[in-house]
Structure 1
């Protein structure tokens, strides 16, 4: 009996797609190092900022330039924060009311720190002194700006049409307290002189026949 091979026409079902293995993660050690460094840097920066802000103090400073001898007002001062330094000794901000009403002991530039030595209770003029105002035209004033504390001479000048005296002209030695420019261009200078000379200087200044000579400027 002959054996018969049976051939099946039914196709073998195709196999589904093979599952891919999960991707292998590549480790990057430098990323971990960078992250750790960033965290450390941030912590250091925060510590530095905290230290910087907690190591500052609020002190008094000049908002505008205060000439020597001028009365100090609230508008002349401001509160600023600075980093503490043993070399500096500014007055604390809460000393504002103690400074206002006093006079500047020397020229205090705008932005300068206010120290205990910057303000004084000494009156202007002091005992035995008087302040006289002298009005000067541009031809009668020196060619440099006057400052409080400058030493000057108020010289008696000849009137218009008079001859220049042959001898040494009369004069008064004085110290500049303050000066300002009037609206008409005249320079008004307040000078301090001994009480006994104030009357004579005032009479000379009233005549308008005076000139001012700068002998010694403050540093």
Structure 2
């Protein structure tokens, strides 16, 4: 009877697997777990598009900011309101940085001092830019004209606020007896060139431009205090 010798490398005792093979199997399983591939990331087109849009928007805003700061110019503007005919003073003016339309004939900031002493050719509100058409070098009084000051209380002036450039008439008022008479009261046409309120007596000195030939008569009537001022049409 022949007895085969058991393979010492494959079996042991009751036919189980040798310990070294069991250890190799556990190591292989551990290696497989260690190299498990990472899950695939899902691409989201909406987020990608939003990121691209944000980058483009940032670039556009940067370009706009650079363009805005690089295209501004220093020009002259009004610090306070100046009415037509008023003399422009240093305190009326300031410089501002703005982006300009080439069609505007603004005054550069370095020429601000040249405007001092000139007159407003029209009413100009505080904060508005000054252009060449807004000012004039016309001297007051003009040749052949005179300026006369007439002091008037509020009761002898129109309730509407007077402005430089307004056309008015100075009307002779009755005497103490209040006798108007049959003839129309004498009047002198004039143009307002300035207003100077006096807080002490409540009167306002109105500077009026009249022809030289009527200046003496207007001054004499104004000295009596028996005159009133009438505002005529402002339509031009």
TM band (smaller chain) = 0.7 to 0.9
Q: Judge which range, 157-166 or 59-68, deviates more.
A: 157-166
Q: CA RMSD in A?
A: 2.8
- Per-residue displacement from partner, 1:115-142 (whole Å, max 9, x unpaired)? 1222222211111111111111222111
Q: Secondary structure at the match of 2:122?
A: coil
Distance 2:126 2:179 in 1: 46
Question: Partner residue of 2:224?
Answer: 207
**Aligned partners of 1:147 and 1:218 also within 8 Å:** no
TM-score (norm 1): 0.85
Q: Judge which range, 170-179 or 50-59, deviates more.
A: 50-59
Question: Partner residue of 2:116?
Answer: 100
Distance 1:161 1:23 in 2: 114
Distance 2:100 2:158 in 1: 43
Q: Secondary structure at the match of 1:131?
A: strand
Structure 1 or 2, whichever has the larger Rg, is 2
Specify whether residues 26 and 19 from structure 1 end up closer, same or farther in structure 2 by C-alpha distance, changes over 3 A only: same
Matched ranges for 1:109-148 at <5 A: 109-148=125-164
Question: Partner residue of 1:151?
Answer: 167
Distance 1:63 1:38 in 2: 41
The structure that is helix-richer by fraction is 2
Q: Secondary structure at the match of 2:156?
A: coil
How far does residue 208 in structure 1 lie from its aligned partner after superposition? 0.8
Q: Is structure 2 residue 67 aligned with structure 1 residue 67?
A: no
Specify whether residues 136 and 218 from structure 1 end up closer, same or farther in structure 2 by C-alpha distance, changes over 3 A only: farther
**Aligned partners of 1:129 and 1:193 also within 8 Å:** yes
Structure possessing the higher relative contact order (Cα contacts under 8 Å, 6 or more residues apart): 1
Distance 2:79 2:107 in 1: 15
**Aligned partners of 1:150 and 1:218 also within 8 Å:** no
- Per-residue displacement from partner, 1:132-179 (whole Å, max 9, x unpaired)? 111112221112111111111101101233312221111111000122
How far does residue 21 in structure 1 lie from its aligned partner after superposition? 2.8
Matched ranges for 1:1-219 at <5 A: 19=34, 21-30=36-45, 31-183=47-199, 184-217=201-234
Distance 1:198 1:125 in 2: 12
- Per-residue displacement from partner, 1:47-68 (whole Å, max 9, x unpaired)? 1222222222221111111122
**For this pair of structures, how many residues does the alignment match?**
217
- Per-residue displacement from partner, 1:163-217 (whole Å, max 9, x unpaired)? 1222111111100012233213223211111112112111111111000111122
Distance 1:166 1:133 in 2: 29
TM-score (norm 2): 0.80
**Aligned partners of 1:147 and 1:217 also within 8 Å:** no
Q: Secondary structure at the match of 2:38?
A: coil
Distance 1:88 1:147 in 2: 26
- Structure 1 residues not aligned, in runs of 5+: none
